Homo-oligomer: A and B are copies of this chain.
Amino acid sequence: MVDIIGQVKKAKEASLVLASARAEIKYLALDNIARAIKKNKDKIIEENRKDVLEARKNKLSKSLLDRLILNEKKIKEIVEMVEEVNRLEDPVGKVMEKMELDTNLNLTKITVPIGLIGAIFESRPDAAVQISSLCIKSGNAVILKPGKEAKNTCKLLVGLIKDSLQKSNLPKEAVQLIETREEVKEILKLHDFIDLLIPRGSNKFIKFIQENSKIPVLGHADGICHVYVDKDADIEKAVKICFDAKCQYAAVCNAMETLLVHKDIAEKFLPLIAEKYFKAGVGIKGDEEARKIIKAEKANEVDWKTEYNDLIISIKIVNSVDEAMRHINKYGSKHTDAMVTENKETASAFLSKVDSSSVLHNCSTRFADGFRYGKGAEVGISTSKIHGRGPLGLEGLVIYKYILKGDGHIVDDYCKGKKTFKHNKK
């Protein structure tokens, strides 16, 4: 087995160099990466073919195979993505607060990189480039573990990234590739070196990571999102939003899984949306009250906790906005929940009392996404209650430090009353 701890220690050391790298140097590194990928596209496609052949032999599922295959178009997209990340503002070194504690004793709170990131993901080789770019831009080092299906492709890509770092006078050890599952298990134990894990993949995979490491995890396992259609909803808006939230792209985390409908509007609204769902091939499950109005399979307790990630919806009739909120706070995953109403008071209660990372009024849950929220790049969507919440851009990869500059100041003078603090915000 490779010396994983040695590799991780090297990455940690490199992270300290990257942390104080100037914005222009990091810009140059990403620029070099984009150029190297463009220049080596034929080689990349060649290595990728090896992976694809092997994957076909191993009967990889069609969806995983689709994500694995790189062609000229996909490589062009990867290059554009690197360029896009590079156009974002450098997130490091931003002054968050300034305070004069006393004469010539000045405190500054400034953004800094987190340190060493562990990124574990499935077969997509483009993810290796995306995550490396995000980490370098934000001054973090990264340990990459791509799916083993993408082995040859990722080896070449990471080699190009390392060369580009070196060309920009940054340590090539800042990006490290690990290849086996055994190595992942080792990584999960290294909480003294790795500051944050970013897993990408199935819910099951992310839960496994969360449950088997002391390292903080950025991301979310479940995306059980709701739309609540209130008695005071505009029915036309409600139909549009509920259709978009379920059908625009059903396989993603911000798609709606459960539709909650106020009893007073159910008879008018449900047949309209049910017809649209029926035409789109959506399987409908409903509680007893819903099934009195529309044709639906019986929904049970398990459905309220299920992320279908598919064209299936569970529908429940509620007696009030309070019941809707209680249902969401109980069964939801604190990801994204929306309501449709023209009643401003009801909207205000919902937005304040629903405990989710994104709460929406009169729009589709599908908007909860880093790009749509104007962040340029998305590191992930977090349902955690600390650090970052909701769609995270580069700001999810930085933290801050305090810098205090004095001129021989000692605490004893303040304890003895010889001096007093000014605490002037600047």
List, in ascending order, chain B residues with CB within 8 A of A407's CB.
237, 362-363
Evaluate whether A402 and B359 lie within 8 angstroms (CB atoms) in the complex, with A114-B386, A373-B107 already known.
yes
The stretch from A52-60, A176-184, A291-299, A411-419 touching chain B is A411-419
Check: A421 CB closer than 8 A to any chain B CB. yes
Check: A356 CB closer than 8 A to any chain B CB. yes
List, in ascending order, chain B residues with CB within 8 A of A361's CB.
403-406
Instruction: Return the CB mask of A390-410 against B: 1 if under 8 Å, else 0.
Output: 110000000111111111111
For A415, give its contact among B196, B248, B368, B399 (CB under 8 Å): B248
Check: A74 CB closer than 8 A to any chain B CB. no
In addition to A101-B372, A114-B386, A368-B402, 4 A-B residue pairs with Cβ atoms within 8 Å of each other are A16-B355, A241-B408, A358-B403, A363-B406
Which residues of A213-257 are within 8 A (CB) of B?
A: 214, 216, 234, 236-237, 240-241, 243-244, 248-249
Which secondary structure characterizes the binding site on chain A?
mixed
Tell me whether B374 and A423 are in contact (CB under 8 A).
Answer: yes
Cα distance A328–B412 in the bound complex, in angstroms? 25
Chain A residues packing against B (C-beta within 8 Å): 16, 19-20, 99, 101, 105, 107, 114-115, 195-196, 210-211, 214, 216, 234, 236-237, 240-241, 243-244, 248-249, 329, 347, 351-353, 355-364, 366-368, 372-374, 384-387, 389-391, 399-412, 414-415, 421, 423, 425
Tell me whether B359 and A403 are in contact (CB under 8 A).
Answer: yes
Q: How far is the CB of A324 from chain B (nearest CB, A)?
A: 14
Cα distance A361–B104 in the bound complex, in angstroms? 11
Chain B minimum-CB-distance residue to A382: B399
Q: How far is the CB of A54 from chain B (nearest CB, A)?
A: 34
Chain B minimum-CB-distance residue to A237: B408
Tell me whether B105 and A404 are in contact (CB under 8 A).
Answer: no
List, in ascending order, chain B residues with CB within 8 A of A329's CB.
16
